[in-house]
Amino acid sequence: MAHDSDTRERLIEAAMELFVYQGYQATGLAQIAKKAGAKPGSLYYFFPTKEELLAATLEKRKVLLWPEVLQPIWDNIDDPIERVFGLLAGYRRMLQFTEFSHGCPIGNLVLELAESHPHTRTLLAENFDGWIAAVRECFVEAKDRLPEGIDPNGLAVFVLVTMEGAVMLARTYRSFDAYDAAIVFLRDYVERLIQGGTQWANPKWSHGRGWPDWPPGNPGSTSGSTATESQKQAGDAP
């Protein structure tokens, strides 16, 4: 039984790596079995279809979010706001280390499979939900430093959207210019919230207008937000 479990884990780990670097469609089952050091028959024994293997990798990523992505940062940074930016710095280091070949694993799969594999969307969304929840908790911990009425879940979604877009542009241009600019403006916005220095930093929340609940059905989300004026262009970053 232990041998069977080890083989299954090796297959999942091999698939996770190949899906990141090659994409789901371009990765063959025989290639996964070879990388895992397993016989093709073993792969079909554990995962009769490729989509079942994909689902197993996405379940695994949900489990690994804390020990592999969050904990190394959380253990070294006490300030909850700085944890958020430490997380974003981690994605930048990943891009630098892999010379832009390793994007966000979940974001990559969403772009490739969201339409062709609708049953997979739930697991993709659950991975995003876990990421959003971790960042939301940082803003909850920092609530005494933020304007009253700010939705921490909305801020967490904003951070995720910023990261995903920044990673995509960095990989496209093979440059950190857009990534760094996005993080500078995000930090500027968060610091303005903390300082309460602009009218935009204290929006009036209005039910039925602006942002919807996100993720859908999230009980911690404030339904709708609207700013009293457009965000002013951010100045030079500190």
CATH of the domain at 110: 1.10.357
Residue 221, domain member (yes or no): yes
Residue ranges in the chain modelled with pLDDT below 70: 1-3, 197-238
**Which domain, by its residues, includes 86?**
79-238
Predicted pLDDT at 196: 75
In a domain, 199, yes or no: yes
Q: Does the residue 53 lie in any domain?
A: no
pLDDT of residue 4: 79
Q: Per the domain annotation, does 146 fall within a domain? A: yes
Question: Does residue 65 contact residue 55 with C-beta atoms inside 8 Å?
Answer: no
* pLDDT tens string 212-234: 454 555 544 443 333 333 333 33
Residue found under tokens 């039925």: 208
Task: Provide the 10 A C-beta neighbour count for residue 116.
Answer: 9
Mean pLDDT for the chain overall: 85
Asked if residue 12 is part of any domain, the answer here is no
Give the count of domains, the chain: 1
Whether 148 maps to a domain, the answer reads yes
Q: How far apart are CA 63 and CA 237, in angstroms?
A: 36
Q: Using CA atoms, how far apart are residues 181 and 150, in angstroms rounded to an integer?
A: 24
Alpha helices, H only, the chain: 2-22, 29-36, 40-46, 50-64, 71-74, 80-97, 105-113, 121-141, 152-173, 177-195
- pLDDT tens digits for 147-183? 988 999 999 999 999 999 999 999 999 999 999 999 9
- Predicted pLDDT of residue 218: 54
Q: pTM for the whole thing?
A: 0.80
Whether 222 is covered by a domain: the verdict is yes
User: What pLDDT score was predicted for residue 35?
Assistant: 97
Q: Residue 101's pLDDT is what?
A: 92
- Does residue 155 form part of some domain? yes
